[in-house]
Amino acid sequence: MSIRNVRNFWLTAEVDGRRTDIETVPIASDGGMNLTILVREQGSVSESLVEIRCVSVGGENKIFIEIVRGDESEIHELKVER
């Protein structure tokens, strides 16, 4: 757990059927990560419905959450000072 205290981002995911949570961090202390969530929709796998991008830029940690539905996209941006 201590490694997460020095990283700018970390991910914890709880998934049905797994005995343990999925936890990970970027290797570099100023690294980023991307997460894509896909969904089965009408018998086939959707294109990405939700994308989460985490980046460090100029002393700020930024998280972009993009929600896609058909041809429409909605992006939310969160900024946090490092």
Residue-level pLDDT at 6? 67
Are the C-beta atoms of 72 and 80 separated by less than 8 Å?
A: no
Residue-level pLDDT at 2? 47
Q: By three-state DSSP, how is residue 79 classified?
A: strand
Per-residue pLDDT of the chain (82 residues; tens, 9 = 90+): 445 566 889 889 999 999 999 988 898 888 999 999 888 888 888 776 889 999 998 889 999 999 887 788 899 998 887 7
Residue-level pLDDT at 1? 44
Global pTM value: 0.77
